[in-house]
Amino acid sequence: MRAIIAGGTGFIGQSLITELQENGWDIVVLSRSPGKVASIFGSGVIGMRWDNGDWPDLLGPETVIVNLAGENIAAGRWTRARKERILNSRIKAGERIVEVVRRSGVAPAALIQASAVGYYGPRGTELIDETADSGDGFLAEVTRRWEASTLALEEMGVRRVIIRTGVVLGNGGALERMLPPFRFFLGGPLGSGLQGVSWIHMADEVGAIRFLMENEETSGAYNLTAPTPVRFRKFARILGQTLNRPHWLKVPAFVLRLLFGDMADEALLSGQLVLPARLLRAGYGFRFPNLEEALADLLV
Ligand code: NDP
């Protein structure tokens, strides 16, 4: 079994590669910089540039492609130029994969296409699953077009799985950015604290991706979120309790808007309560279904 992982050098990709290697998969990483692949993984992982003419030769009926590549969404203010990079990097990666598969004439076993719960747009208090429509806003538009960028593979008969991922809790990523105020006794909810946080422990993010790669019955969109999404207020309380720190100091919405611009309203001050209905129906067993245990595992 071979996995070709586009964007495998990132936060999720690195953990996914460990999970897959422990379970007998050979790994090839598509990267803008194969040197970065070598410095992260050593010789156990082959790194290839996107434009390397050899990677189509690696396609075969047992190959699964995982497409995680894209400009980081939370790395800075959403200027117009950044928004374009966030959107275009994703569309380009998807279209490139389709083009290479089409030209090679060899269909892979499956494509796992990354997406995000931002697909559903800002939502209030309703619990939603994969049957919900896409919502409003920049992230919803990006994810719709990102998902569509590899749709042509389905028309070629390839099993395609879309992973609408929530906030991944691991060593890095969003949790690392949230920790400093809590550690300095300044932690608390962002804005009203009523916005939904659909989180998932990294062990389940990569466990679910492997489950979907190996389970040939699965296809279409799956929410990769724990079965117990919470409001931010509760997230902050459990985080504070886990760290043995206060959790009541609210960060006002206007401060977040000053610091982060547009990104504050869509990514920090609003959210959604998303359930992994299809993953549960397919028989995936969560290692960390509850936030208390997930945070204790990562932080204590
Ligand atoms: P990272 O930002 O850590 O990594 C993504 C990888 O994409 C990078 O390692 C990089 O690989 C590649 N990349 C970065 N910028 C560009 C670009 N401009 N053009 C092409 N490739 C680029 O992402 P994560 O691992 O955190 O997430 C993987 C995917 O899942 C992302 O697309 C993200 O949007 C999505 N997601 C993540 C969530 C999270 O909580 N982490 C939540 C929901 C969705 P290289 O430098 O080797 O080319």
DSSP 286: P
Which atom of ligand 1 is nearest the CA belonging to 93? Answer: 20
Is residue 125's pLDDT more than 90?
Answer: no
State how far the Cα of 124 lies from the Cα of 126, in Å rounded to an integer: 6
Q: Ligand 1: which residue has its CA nearest to atom 29?
A: 68
The mean pLDDT value for 278-298 works out to 98
94: three-class secondary structure by DSSP: helix
Q: Ligand 1: which residue has its CA nearest to atom 17?
A: 71
Determine the residue of 32, 50, 198 to mutate for testing ligand 1's pocket, defined as the one with the most ligand atoms within 8 A of the Cβ atom. Answer: 32
Instruction: Find the Cα–Cα–Cα–Cα dihedral 222, 225, 230, 236, rounded to 10°.
Output: -150
> What pairs with residue 167 in β-bridges?
199
Contact 84, 142 (CB under 8 A): no
Contact 69, 89 (CB under 8 A): yes
Amino acid at 266: E
What is the chain's mean pLDDT, rounded?
Answer: 95
- 3-class DSSP string for 111-147: EEEEEEHHHHCCECCCEECCCCCCCCCHHHHHHHHHH
Q: Would you state the pLDDT for residue 57?
A: 87
Q: How far is the CA of 266 from the centre of ligand 1 (A)?
A: 19
Amino acid at 207: G
Q: Ligand 1: which residue has its CA nearest to atom 10?
A: 7
Q: How far is the CA of 25 from the centre of ligand 1 (A)?
A: 21
Greatest Cα-to-Cα distance within the chain, rounded to the nearest angstrom = 58
Q: Would you state the pLDDT for residue 283?
A: 98
State how far the Cα of 118 lies from the Cα of 176, in Å rounded to an integer: 20
Instruction: Please report which confidence band the pLDDT of residue 184 belongs to, taking 50, 70 and 90 as the band edges.
Output: confident
Instruction: Please report which confidence band the pLDDT of residue 124 belongs to, taking 50, 70 and 90 as the band edges.
Output: confident
64: three-class secondary structure by DSSP: strand
Give pLDDT tens digits for 158-173.
Answer: 999 999 999 999 999 9
Q: How far is the CA of 239 from the centre of ligand 1 (A)?
A: 25
Q: How far is the CA of 237 from the centre of ligand 1 (A)?
A: 29
Tell me which residues have their CB closer than 6 angstroms to ligand 1: 7, 9-13, 31-33, 36, 68-73, 85, 89, 93, 114, 116, 165, 167-168, 173-174
The mean pLDDT value for 147-162 works out to 97
Determine the residue of 65, 138, 165 to mutate for testing ligand 1's pocket, defined as the one with the most ligand atoms within 8 A of the Cβ atom. Answer: 165
Q: Would you state the pLDDT for residue 248?
A: 87
Could you give the angle at the alpha carbon of 233 between the alpha carbons of 227 and 234, nearest 5°? 45
Amino acid at 23: N
Q: Is 261 exposed, middle or buried (0-12, 13-18, 19+ CB in 10 A)?
A: middle
Say which CATH architecture domain 2-299 belongs to: 3-Layer(aba) Sandwich (3.40)
Domains in the chain: boundaries: 2-299
Give pLDDT tens digits for 85-114.
Answer: 999 999 999 999 999 999 999 999 999 999
Weakest mean pLDDT among 105-114, 193-202, 243-252, 255-264: 255-264
Q: How far is the CA of 272 from the centre of ligand 1 (A)?
A: 21
> What is the rounded radius of gyration, in angstroms, for the C-alpha atoms of the chain?
19
The closest of 66, 69, 114 to 93, measured between CA atoms, is 69
Is the Cα torsion angle 45, 49, 54, 59 positive or negative in sign?
A: positive
